[in-house]
Structure 1
Amino acid sequence: MTPLVDPSLNRRKLRIALRRAREDAGLTQRKAAERLEWSLSKLVRVENGTVSVSVTDLRALTHLYGITDPAAVEELETAARGSKGPSWWSRFHDVVTPQFAQYLGYETAAVSLATYHPIVVPGHLQTRGYAEALLRPRVDDADRLARIVDLRMERQERMFEGQGPQETLFVLDEAAVRRQIGGGAVMAGQLRQLLDFAGRPGVTVRVLPFDAGAHYSTLGSFVLLGFTDDEDLLYLEYATGSMTGGEDPELLGRYHECLEQISRLALGVPESLDLIRRVEQDLDQG
């Protein structure tokens, strides 16, 4: 049976709570590890949310940090018990890099997501046919291609069936709307799916038109994740992926400004959907 709460969410809950408790106790990571007679790397992994936490280790941490409130301790112990086990994407381990797996954990926990892509429709919104046509030129192995597409489809289903961010903003460059990936029929189906998703609660789809000119992010795509209990996260979609949070507030701030600029230049929602609809109708008629 699939757990109601993904283990990655419990690991994240522990990461935030334990990091803050350590800081409130006036301890550095190195000093806390020394007091516990742990390796520094073990404590770092706990605070990064990349490993589960045993109840025994948790009790050692709460004792060291002076967490004595019974309700708080019980809540953390429940999270520790729930931090074990595989996350939903673990069965795709053969096609998911460690960096992207870490990002998926953040994405699952985010309350908001905003993304811009200058070239193609982002993976969150792709149809199976579009995804297959997009990936086929660079994934030679048919089985591996199917695995990557299956991952993409499951991620999409979870995101739009109540297990992802509550508010999502997708800004697509006009090039992404007009570039025919997979031929006219596949592209028309993709555009119809964009219109379908745009009609769902909490989902906003906008188009950055060609005449918007140059802007900060003409060279690449990015994702901004928002949280109620942690710093925002920036994910840059390089070949290996790159994440930035509170440790680089200047870069994070620049991309927030970039999103604001793109939002000012993009068409409004009705105009964006009209453009998508016109392109889709032209493909159907062609």
Structure 2
Amino acid sequence: MTPLVDPSLNRRKLRLALRHARENAGLTQREAARNVEWSQSKLIRVETGTVGVSVSDLRALLALYRVDHPDRVAELEQAARGSKGPSWWSSFHDVVTPQFAQYLGYEGAATSLHTYHPIVVPGHLQTKRYAEALLAPRGLDPERLERVVTLRMKRRERMFDNPGGPACVFLLDEAAVRRQIGGPEVQSEQLRQLLDLGEREEIAVRVLPFEAGAHYSTLGSFVLLGFPDDDDLLYLEHAAGSMTGGEDLDLLARYQECFQTIEEAALSESDSADLISRIQQDLGVR
């Protein structure tokens, strides 16, 4: 059975198509909204993929933009029908911020994911026990902690256990693989998972050794998402989280250059696996 397409992916498809169609028609957002008797904020929400689009609203926009090829209209109408409804993370609304929900929508559509973490193993790669130990000092009540961990595990499963996932490069600082989160047994299990995931063709796990010294991003982690049909996106991971794409090309370019610099200084995949294996052995867990 073909898996259902997440509504966020259909919203993204419509966002790109409708923005490009409006620009090709030579209309501003204000002009387009006025012509179909919408508020400008409604059009903005559609063009940012925040909301779905009804088929009748879609037809009004396509008529305005003079998009009339039957196959293209049918394709977008199908996307509009699939743009409504909850995304896979909607049931976790109590632990997902609007900003992170928007990021998850982009992540699900990305064809590549490049990330650097200087302190701990990133959420994409964490085991359940590692995630629980990492979150424990935050003082969350047990139910909320379990919800966050479950979300993290479901996200990992969707990314790595389904066909068509993004090609991933994870650059981890040596501190991230040496820092014992949850004690030797939990850390050993986590390192074993890094080794197992690193053996997959679509996943590269590499370590930036201590000897590499200072670099641009010694103060924080970041994610770069790549798309074949849209601008790349930068997600800076901190308490509130922040994203930038085509609206801040200078910042995006700086982090793309930063990632390339770190990648050049990092150990190869093979040498990284050897280092992780030695660290795991030193933990003395059988």
Fold equivalence (TM over 0.5): yes
Q: Measure how far apart 1:178 and its partner are.
A: 0.2
The CA distance in 1 between the partners of 2:7 and 2:163, in whole Å, is: 13
Partner amino acid, structure 1, of 2:151: L
Q: Is the 8 A contact 2:185 2:285 kept in 1?
A: no
Aligned residue number for residue 80 of structure 1: 80
Partner amino acid, structure 1, of 2:63: H
Q: SS at the partner of 2:187?
A: helix
Gaps of 5+ in 2: none
Q: Is the 8 A contact 1:115 1:221 kept in 2?
A: yes
The CA distance in 1 between the partners of 2:180 and 2:164, in whole Å, is: 29
Q: Measure how far apart 1:164 and its partner are.
A: 6.2
CA displacement 1:17-52 (0-9 Å, x = unmatched) = 000000000001111011111001000000000101
CA displacement 1:50-106 (0-9 Å, x = unmatched) = 101000000000000000100000000000000011000000000000000000000
Aligned residue number for residue 179 of structure 1: 179
Aligned residue number for residue 32 of structure 2: 32
Moved over 3 A (4+): none
Q: Measure how far apart 1:204 and its partner are.
A: 0.1
Aligned residue number for residue 61 of structure 1: 61
Q: Is the 8 A contact 1:110 1:164 kept in 2?
A: no
Q: SS at the partner of 2:283?
A: helix
Aligned residue number for residue 157 of structure 2: 157
Q: SS at the partner of 1:195?
A: helix
CA displacement 1:258-286 (0-9 Å, x = unmatched) = 01100111011111000000001111359
Q: Tell me the C-alpha RMSD between the 2 structures.
A: 1.3
How do residues 113-262 of structure 1 correspond to structure 2 at under 5 angstroms? 113-162=113-162, 165-262=165-262
Partner amino acid, structure 2, of 1:205: V
Partner amino acid, structure 2, of 1:139: G
The CA distance in 1 between the partners of 2:170 and 2:257, in whole Å, is: 16
The CA distance in 2 between the partners of 1:190 and 1:255, in whole Å, is: 27
Partner amino acid, structure 2, of 1:246: G
How many residue pairs were aligned?
286
Q: Measure how far apart 1:238 and its partner are.
A: 1.4
Q: Is the 8 A contact 2:188 2:285 kept in 1?
A: no
Aligned residue number for residue 7 of structure 1: 7
Q: Is the 8 A contact 1:129 1:186 kept in 2?
A: yes
Aligned residue number for residue 91 of structure 2: 91
Q: Measure how far apart 1:139 and its partner are.
A: 3.5
Identity of matched residues, %: 70
Q: SS at the partner of 2:161?
A: helix
The CA distance in 1 between the partners of 2:163 and 2:89, in whole Å, is: 13
Aligned residue number for residue 109 of structure 1: 109
Partner amino acid, structure 2, of 1:179: R
CA displacement 1:174-193 (0-9 Å, x = unmatched) = 00000000000000000000
CA displacement 1:148-207 (0-9 Å, x = unmatched) = 000000000000012664310000000000000000000000000000000112100000
Are positions 1:279 and 2:264 aligned together? no
Q: Is the 8 A contact 2:125 2:156 kept in 1?
A: yes
Q: Is the 8 A contact 2:33 2:39 kept in 1?
A: yes
The CA distance in 2 between the partners of 1:41 and 1:61, in whole Å, is: 15
Q: SS at the partner of 2:89?
A: helix
The CA distance in 1 between the partners of 2:247 and 2:171, in whole Å, is: 26
The CA distance in 2 between the partners of 1:25 and 1:86, in whole Å, is: 32
TM-score norm. by structure 1 comes to: 0.98
Gaps of 5+ in 1: none
TM-score norm. by structure 2 comes to: 0.98
Q: Measure how far apart 1:144 and its partner are.
A: 0.1
The CA distance in 1 between the partners of 2:195 and 2:263, in whole Å, is: 19
CA displacement 1:213-259 (0-9 Å, x = unmatched) = 00000010000000001000000001111000001000000000001
CA gap of 1:247–1:97, structure 2 versus 1, over 3 A, is same
